[in-house]
Amino acid sequence: MSARLIDGHALAARLRAEIGERAARLAEQGHRPGLAVVLVGEDPASAVYVRNKVRACQEHGLHSVLEKYDATLSEAALLARIEALNADPDVHGILVQMPLPRHIDAHKVIAAIATHKDVDGFSVQSAGELASGLPGLRPCTPYGCMKLIESTGVPLRGRHAVVVGRSNTVGKPMALLLLQANATVTICHSATPDLGHFTRDADVVVAAVGRRNVVTADMVKRGAVIIDVGMNRNDEGKLCGDVDFAAVREALGPEGWLTPVPGGVGPMTVTMLLENTVQAALAQTADRR
Ligand code: NAP
């Protein structure tokens, strides 16, 4: 018997239905949650991501503004746009699609977004709120991973969670969210000499590396929960994660849980962006409702 799959599509659909209802209630009170998505340049992958985000807003009753600019837009002009969006009461969340053209300092741009509108949760201020245990907007992918873990019913308190990867957007915030949920957390990275030594002891593993087969069957504990954030291509060009899926699913046994790629973490990321936008709208309109 092999591990159960955590269905990201099903969970995302359930959460999106609730988000749609909360957005509709806010809209009835004259505060439709609004997201501004800013795209600079012609990167084809970014164009697809942006389109998906705008479409998700439209499908769930959120107001969305798509601002598309030529790759030649100056840093000063982009910062001026962010200032205007910060001041716009119809915009509760601002997302600047990365990567930006080289002549624009992404750190400066992220820092310019008002913290209460930072629905990506990438700013130093938002990261500081998370690290300090203060309320705030959480980065969408790790936030979605927490929801996937929660959906298994496996409690995190006192469990050993291993995060593989330490990027500012996934690994580090993931580790902090697990810590906040009272897990005992280990963070592994490219300089970790024996990854299996840590993952074999883990009740929960979150793999966020971007390399196939980083987690193999001999590296997991029976009954563990494995969240595969990685997005890679296999030899046939098909999307796959960081986990050796079929063999790890067997090794986990019937008590274990595993997210598929695609269909696990992917659908949750945009869902949590909608969630953050609704949360931001609720916070920004609290005194006017
Ligand atoms: P990243 O910035 O490249 O970070 C990768 C991390 O993996 C780094 O911390 C790196 O360590 C570590 N690493 C590299 N090789 C390793 C190894 N052999 N053993 C252990 N750790 C190793 O990537 P990211 O932005 O965090 O994204 C990670 C993956 O998740 C990518 O495949 C990305 O496409 C995917 N992703 C998916 C979603 C989604 O919505 N599904 C969202 C975001 C990201 P060092 O720090 O030491 O270099």
CATH architecture of 30-115: 3-Layer(aba) Sandwich (3.40)
* Fold match flag (30-115 vs 140-266): yes
Segments making up each domain of the chain, as ranges: 30-115, 140-266
- Ligand 1 centre and the CA of 123: distance in Å? 19
The CA angle 115-117-123, to the nearest 5 degrees, is: 40
CATH number, domain 140-266: 3.40.50.720
- The CB of 162 under 6 Å from ligand 1? The reply is no
- The pLDDT profile of the chain, 289 residues, written as one tens digit per residue, is 899 999 999 999 999 999 999 999 999 999 999 999 999 999 999 999 999 999 999 999 999 999 999 999 999 999 999 999 999 999 999 999 999 999 999 999 999 999 999 999 999 999 999 999 999 999 999 999 999 999 999 999 999 999 999 999 999 999 999 999 999 999 999 999 999 999 999 999 999 999 999 999 999 999 999 999 999 999 999 999 999 999 999 999 999 999 999 999 999 999 999 999 999 999 999 998 8
- Ligand 1 centre and the CA of 90: distance in Å? 35
Q: Which residue's CA lies nearest to atom 22 of ligand 1?
A: 190
- The CB of 190 under 6 Å from ligand 1? The reply is yes
